[in-house]
Chains A and B, each alone.
Chain A
Amino acid sequence: MTRWTWLSYAYAAAVVFAIGYCLIDVPVQVSDSYGNLVQATGGTFGSVVASQFHARAFLRPFLWAHIRVVYDLSGGHYFEWFRGWHVGQVAVLVLLFLRLLRPRRLVDAAAVPIGLAALIGMHTFAGTVREAFPINAYMTILICCFLAADLALGAPRWWRDVAAAALFVFAVLSVESGLLVAVVLVAAFAAGARGVSSRGVAAIVALVAGYFLLRFVILDVGTPALSERSSGFGFSTREPDALIAMFGGSAIPFYAYNVLSSLLTVLLSEPRGGVWVATRDLVHGELSFMPLLNLTASALAMVTLAIHLWRRRGEWWGRRFDRGDQLLIVFAAVLVANSVISYAYTKDVILSPAGAFFGCALAVAVAGLLETTQTATARRLVAAGLLLVALSTTWGMRAVSAHVGLRRSAAATRNEWAIVDEWLEREHLVPSTALAAHLKRELHDQAITKHPARPALTASWVERLSDD
């Protein structure tokens, strides 16, 4: 540990405080959370988890176990426990982010603010904090993916193999994108990381095969059909009927579109959920501030990454990968795999693992660019300085936008609780048991009365920085 390491951790603590302060204000949601809580409490722990092995389309027993454990621990203080748990998860994620970057030199520490701004400010991250079910499964997967990378990039130890296998099983039975844990481990191994041994990686590959066997042959869980969800295509979101009409004959072009959209959204912040929002607004002459900011920040990041890759081309050609290179390779592998598993349905938050590793990759590239400034000519130094200040400013603003988004989510969620009875009637979810009615009353009181809304932000720039 050097003084730059300590400084980086101190800065990370400030980042966690800032995001935690906004996140702790978001009540447990009505939609996606209340119904799940009722279901998770409708039986014993064992019966709730066991029933999930026989669910249709989704296989997520450990997510339900996770919800039930926090519910039981809360002792009725749902708001504090579920949101406190969420803040704790963000703290762990940021801690792991720093462990991966391992900032020991000035250049590493100087890259940490941009890296963390990209982690928090990336549009794919928003869904991991603004939503909850009431445990955010995507946030859980981000932690699992970072933990997998941390295991793989460490010194070889037998227990890392065991931990990697356990981590994969937990992740993949929490939500489907847990499969990315295996991608992280295999990619890191391919890049020369030996924290998890060849036997450990082989075991992971066997577990992946076992997961598919369990899901599709033994349990016959299946996957969600094309007809279940609306999805973005071109300049708008299409309803399932429209999608079937467009692609009913062969869904392959639609799947290819989703994979390509997923790749591009991480790299360029466009399209969003399959919809080319910024392009559409530009065509209509209505491009607003946030899409422009997002595109600019992403374009600058791509330039920085390209410079770094060009500078490292010799080492890559000779397969002499350092830790930074290994992180870049893991990012590339997760980006491709994450995009492929989004083939049926693309949504920003599903790409959150790729988005999180993008933050790591950007920090590596920035540190690499800073290294070159020691010997750079005056002209190159000015160019690098301008690029870095623009990059840092745009990503810093995106990070502030993420906090604004949380503030708005907190207000919107509270307003949902204000008219919860109408919503439950409309959705045919009126509580039918005493426990469900009690839970609704408690959650309502905790959202409205015990933790009242914070004052609305009325400055005009707040509206401009909203990326909803």
Chain B
Amino acid sequence: MTNPRPSMVAVMAAALPAAIATLAVVVFAVFELFGHTLFSQGPDRNLAEAAAMGRLSEVVRLLAAGEDPNQIVTVRPHVISSSVTRVTALEASVWHRSVAQMALFDRAGSVTSPATRQHLMCLAADLRVDEIVHYYAAGQPPDCVPEQALTMIVARSQQPTGGAR
């Protein structure tokens, strides 16, 4: 068999783009192994962030680790919006618009009072998440003041945090 000496430009054209793609994944993996995930906002900082992003497995893990779903915590602006940064995990979960996740919180015993239930239902109504409204209303028409729950959370997010989480 001959030993051809092909055009180096053609060799590079064939090899480089695909090799760069592999190299990119390798670089990504190495960075992540050293604790920095490229193209991401990093790990969820608390249960509320995991709930807002719909990361069920992280919700379960953080609940098991003892995080309180009723505690008001700070979430980063990209998670929900720049005007909603102080929420409970239960409230954040409504923004993910998933009944399955609300049910998961329910089964974990996180919705501890009728008032919390009412608040979540009204927030869902404000955000027009009909599935969650129906889930909490259980066939009854929701008894809510429109926009009240949402306005309260937005106002809370604009207050100084005073060193809260």
Residues on B lying within 8 angstroms of A by beta carbon are: 1, 3-7, 9-11, 13-26, 29, 32-33, 37, 39-44, 53, 55-61, 64, 78, 100, 103-104
Q: Do A415 and B57 form a contact, CB below 8 Å, given A376-B7, A449-B64?
A: yes
Determine if A117 is an interface residue (Cβ-Cβ < 8 Å): yes
Determine if A388 is an interface residue (Cβ-Cβ < 8 Å): yes
Q: Pick the contact of A18 from B3, B22, B53 — CB < 8 Å?
A: B22
Encode contact with B along A400-435: 1 for CB under 8 Å, 0 otherwise.
100100000001001101110010000000000000
Q: Pick the contact of A457 from B13, B39, B104 — CB < 8 Å?
A: B39
Q: Pick the contact of B55 from A111, A370, A411 — CB < 8 Å?
A: A411
Min Cβ gap A444→B in Å is 9
Of residues 342 to 368 in A, which have CB atoms within 8 Å of B's CB atoms? Answer: 366
Q: Collect the chain B residues with CB atoms within 8 Å of residue A393's CB.
A: 17-18
Q: Collect the chain B residues with CB atoms within 8 Å of residue A14's CB.
A: 22-23, 26
Q: Do A371 and B4 form a contact, CB below 8 Å, given A113-B22, A454-B32?
A: yes
Contact B57 A414 (CB under 8 A): yes
Contact A17 B29 (CB under 8 A): yes
Q: Pick the contact of A106 from B6, B43, B44, B53 — CB < 8 Å?
A: B6
Min Cβ gap A219→B in Å is 42
**Roughly how many angstroms separate A385 CA and B17 CA in the complex, as a whole number?**
12
Contact A458 B21 (CB under 8 A): no
Residues on A lying within 8 angstroms of B by beta carbon are: 11, 14-15, 17-18, 21-22, 105-107, 109-114, 116-117, 322, 366, 369-371, 373-374, 376, 381, 384-386, 388-389, 391-393, 395-397, 399-400, 403, 411, 414-415, 417-419, 422, 447-449, 452-459, 461-462
Min Cβ gap A262→B in Å is 26
Chain A binding surface SS class: helix
Q: Do A396 and B11 form a contact, CB below 8 Å, given A18-B26, A374-B4, A458-B41?
A: no
Contact A452 B18 (CB under 8 A): no
Min Cβ gap B98→A in Å is 10
**Roughly how many angstroms separate A94 CA and B102 CA in the complex, as a whole number?**
44
Contact B13 A389 (CB under 8 A): yes
